[in-house]
Amino acid sequence: MANIKDIAKIAGVGTSTVSRVLNNHPYVSEEARQAVLKAIKFTNYQKNINAIHLKLGKTFLIGVVLPFLNHPYFGKLLEGISVEAEKNNYKLLIFQTNYKDLREIEALEMLKEKQIDALIICSKDCKWETIEEYQIYGPIVLCEDTRDRKISSVFVDHYDSFTSALEFLYEKGHRRIGYCVGRMTGTNSTQRELAYRDFLIKHNEPFLKEYIFEGCLFLEDAKRVMDRFTEMKKPPTALLVTSDQVAAGLLNLCNLLHISVPDDLAIIGFDNQPIAEIMNITTFEIPLFEIGQKLFLQAQKKEKIIQEEMAVKLIERNTV
């Protein structure tokens, strides 16, 4: 395999001239440039990317940890990350974890071994202590509230947004309010549950465990929620649904079962995905694309801890 010295010898120039041509530097005569390019073509020379990365101290790879690739919430985050990565000449290495902490640790180990320059964690299962151990090896940025920790993040305050949604329903006359959530663990879910319990205490309403529906991530999960709902003697009159996909599934099932929305059941989704607009679902808009962009940009800041909160907005439509 040819190297820079071989190219220089064939082209009749110095190795520094070859280097300038390879890196598109100015101050090379057109005659010398063409001689070098001709020698490169003749020898089928290929850059040693690993050597270049070693010299620069960068791999130009960013790791992205997310539980699912086929969920619109994470898809929109990834789209924002990808757009910024392309602008900055970075490539992404995706780790789909299915909320298995061993997969997250694989990503953290790659950061430790300098195989990636930074790590973006869109949703985690690992304990905080595990993640904090790896911070010394490179930037780690999370898509959840880290204000009580020394780690960068771009986040939505799910306590505030959930409280706003609950109060909105209360003002509309609802007292039996339940909610659907993807999982009960994790920072975002913990904030939602705390908001829910505080809301009930404030308004002197009972906490009914059966009004919480977990494992609600995809469109098809709505059927399991509706099966339980129709079996209840006193079902909720309103549901907060942390995924527009599940909210859309519920609305469709309500139509099939002749349950009037919003008269018999009010529904509020989250994210403001296209399906919510098409089906006229009241929802909270979360700027996922912009969050993704900011996650990437924070991953470029090696020395500085940044924690940026993103605002959400109520989009009133026909389901409340």
Each of the 320 residues of the chain gets a pLDDT tens digit; together they read 778 888 888 889 988 898 888 877 878 888 888 998 898 888 887 776 555 555 556 789 999 999 999 999 999 999 999 999 999 999 999 999 999 999 999 999 999 999 999 999 999 999 999 999 999 999 999 999 999 999 999 999 999 999 999 999 999 999 999 999 999 999 999 999 999 999 999 999 999 999 999 999 999 999 999 999 999 999 999 999 999 999 999 999 999 999 999 999 999 999 999 999 999 999 999 999 999 999 999 999 877 899 999 999 999 999 99
The confidence score (pLDDT) of residue 253 equals 98
The confidence score (pLDDT) of residue 96 equals 97
CA atoms within 13 A on the CB side of 194: 12
The confidence score (pLDDT) of residue 22 equals 80
Domain 54-154+287-309, CATH: 3.40.50.2300
The confidence score (pLDDT) of residue 177 equals 98
Residue 261 and residue 267 in contact, taking contact as beta carbons nearer than 8 Å: yes
Strands (E), 87-202: 91-96, 118-121, 140-142, 152-155, 177-180
CB under 8 Å to 295, separation ≥6 — which residues?
77, 80, 81, 120, 122, 141, 143, 154
Q: Which amino acid is at 75?
A: G
Report CA-CA distances (Å) from 195 to 102, 199, 286. 31, 6, 18
Q: Take residue 221 and report the two structure tokens written for it.
A: 């999960």
CB under 8 Å to 259, separation ≥6 — which residues?
253, 265
Partners of residue 313 on adjacent β-strands: 285
The confidence score (pLDDT) of residue 23 equals 76
The confidence score (pLDDT) of residue 171 equals 97
Which superfamily is assigned to 156-283 in CATH?
Response regulator (3.40.50.2300)
The confidence score (pLDDT) of residue 25 equals 80
Q: What is the DSSP string of 202-213?
A: HTT----GGGEE
Give the H or E element holding residue 246: helix 244-256
The confidence score (pLDDT) of residue 297 equals 96
Which superfamily is assigned to 2-46 in CATH?
lambda repressor-like DNA-binding domains (1.10.260.40)
Residue 137 and residue 157 in contact, taking contact as beta carbons nearer than 8 Å: no
The confidence score (pLDDT) of residue 289 equals 98
The predicted model scores a pTM of: 0.83
The confidence score (pLDDT) of residue 293 equals 98
What's the gap between Cα 217 and its chain centre? 15
Q: Please give the biggest Cα pair distance in the chain.
A: 90
Question: Is-same-fold flag (2-46; 156-283)?
Answer: no
- Whole-number CA gyration radius for the chain: 26
Domain boundaries, the chain: 2-46, 54-154+287-309, 156-283
Angular region, 125: left φ>0, alpha ψ -120 to 50, beta rest:
alpha
The confidence score (pLDDT) of residue 270 equals 96
**Sheet hosting strand 177-180, strand order edge to edge:** 212-213, 177-180, 238-241, 266-271, 283-285, 313-315
